[in-house]
Chain A
Amino acid sequence: MQTDPVGLMVRLLGSCELRARVVSANIANSNTPGYVRQVVRFEDLLREELQDGGDAVAVLPELAPDLETPSRPDGNNVSLELELNAMRENRLLYEAYSSILRSHFSLLESAISEGR
Chain B
Amino acid sequence: MDGNNGFFTGMRICASGLTAERERMDVIAENLANARTTRTPDGGPYRRKIVLFEPILAEVEGEERAQGVKATHVGVDRVTDFERVLDPGHPDAGPDGMVVYPNVNTVMEMADLITAMRAYEANLTAQENFVRMAERALDLLR
Contact = CB atoms under 8 A, between A and B. Distances in A.
A–B interface present (Cβ within 8 A): yes
B119 A31 contact: yes
B65 A25 contact: yes
A94 B133 contact: yes
A18 interface: yes
User: Dominant SS at the A interface?
Assistant: helix
A71 interface: no
A91 B133 contact: yes
B34 interface: no
A24 B17 CA distance: 9
Q: Most chain-B Cβ atoms within 10 A of its Cβ — which of A20, A24, A84, A105?
A: A24
Interface string B103-135: 000000000000110110011011101101100
Interface string B46-78: 000000011100000001011111000000000
Interface residues of B, number: 37
B7 interface: yes
Given A28-B14, A32-B54, A35-B55, A80 B118 contact: yes
A101 B16 CA distance: 33
A31 B133 contact: no
Interface string A11-24: 00110111011011
14 contacts: A17-B7, A18-B6, A20-B129, A20-B133, A28-B68, A31-B115, A38-B66, A63-B65, A91-B129, A94-B136, A95-B136, A98-B137, A98-B139, A102-B140
A20 B122 contact: no
B133 A17 contact: yes
B122 A30 contact: yes
Given A23-B126, A94-B133, A102-B140, A32 B9 contact: no
B137 A28 contact: no
A70 interface: no
A84 to B, nearest CB: 6
Interface in B12-32: 13-14, 16-17, 20-21, 24
Given A20-B10, A31-B115, A25 B68 contact: yes
A28 B130 contact: no
Interface string B90-106: 00000000000000000
